[in-house]
């Protein structure tokens, strides 16, 4: 396939020889499979099952693929911000107390965090760092919104934002649990 036509034949031979001497394989410095395994657990492939189809129990103890967590975190923030903006814009009437609903969210989140805690040993430090940073971000947003809600308890925009932030946290924790249980020990 090579065409060194425009080169001096000796130069072409030297270059061809040098190319052929290049290594055909170069192993990456780190094992990339755990990250790939984590990502494909979340992605349906054409013609076969959905996320997690490969099934758990393969014994992975490291989890390098944490990019999805960053993406999920970004999604959480974008969605929460959008919800906040829309809620402020629409400013719907009402103002029913949502304390019971929020308490329910908190119980669900606590259960999911406890479940995720059981998989900590199987997650690598980078993954844990992203996970914890994301949760801190979501919790920070919830806390700020709860302070605002305490000041204006009947403000429907703030109520909607708090509820949305809780739902995002639960969704994030569910997905983290799905992946951790699929690839964890």
Partner 1 sequence: MPPAPSPSLADVRAAQSGDAEAFGRVYRAHVGRVHALALRLTADRARAEELVQDAFVRAWEKLESFRGESSFQTWLHRLTVNCFLVGDRSRRRREGRVEMYDELPESPVDRDGEGLGREGRMDLEAAIARLAPGARTAFVLHEIEGYSHEEIAAMSGVAAATIRAQLFRARKKLLEVLDR
Give the interface with partner 1 as residue ranges (CB under 8 A): 1-2, 4, 6-7, 11, 14-15, 18-19, 21-33, 35-37, 39-41, 43-49, 53-55, 58, 65
* Residue with Cβ nearer partner 1 (41 or 116): 41
Please check whether residue 33 is in contact with residue 61, taking contact to mean a CB–CB distance below 8 angstroms: no
Burial of 12 (0-12, 13-18, 19+ CB in 10 A): middle
Determine contact, residues 184/124, Cβ cutoff 8 Å: no
Which helix (H) or strand (E) is 19 found in, with range?
A: helix 9-20
Whole-number minimum distance, CB 52 to partner 1, in Å? 9
Whole-angstrom distance, CA of residue 4 vs CA of residue 8: 8
In the complex, the smallest distance separating the C-beta of residue 111 from partner 1, rounded to whole angstroms, is 27
**Judged by CB, which is closer to partner 1: 54, or 122?**
54
* Least distance CB 184 / partner 1 (angstroms): 14
Residue 64, H or E segment: none
Taking the complex as a whole, the smallest distance from the CB of residue 68 to partner 1 amounts, in Å, to: 10
Q: Which is nearer to partner 1, 4 or 102 (CB)?
A: 4
Nearest to 73 by CA among 168, 162, 143, 167: 168
Q: Which is nearer to partner 1, 58 or 136 (CB)?
A: 58
Among residues 94 and 125, whose Cβ is nearest to partner 1? 125
User: Least CB distance from residue 42 to partner 1, whole Å?
Assistant: 10
Eight-class DSSP state of 122: G
């Amino acid at each position: 396939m090579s065409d060194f036509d425009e080169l001096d034949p000796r130069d072409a031979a030297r270059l061809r020889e040098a190319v052929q001497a290049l290594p055909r394989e170069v192993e990456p410095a780190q094992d990339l499979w755990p990250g790939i395994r984590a990502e494909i657990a979340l992605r349906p492939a054409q013609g076969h099952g959905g996320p997690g189809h490969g099934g758990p129990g393969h014994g992975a103890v490291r989890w390098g693929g944490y990019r999805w967590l960053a993406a999920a975190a970004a999604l959480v923030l974008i969605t929460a911000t959008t919800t906040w903006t829309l809620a402020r814009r629409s400013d719907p009437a009402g103002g029913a107390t949502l304390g019971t609903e929020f308490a329910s969210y908190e119980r669900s989140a606590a259960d999911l965090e406890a479940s995720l805690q059981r998989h900590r040993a199987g997650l690598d430090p980078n993954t844990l760092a992203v996970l914890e940073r994301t949760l801190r971000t979501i919790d920070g947003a919830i806390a700020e919104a709860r302070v605002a809600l305490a000041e204006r308890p009947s403000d429907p925009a703030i109520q909607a934002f708090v509820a949305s932030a809780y739902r995002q946290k639960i969704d994030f924790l569910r997905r983290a649990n799905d992946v951790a249980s699929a690839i964890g020990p």
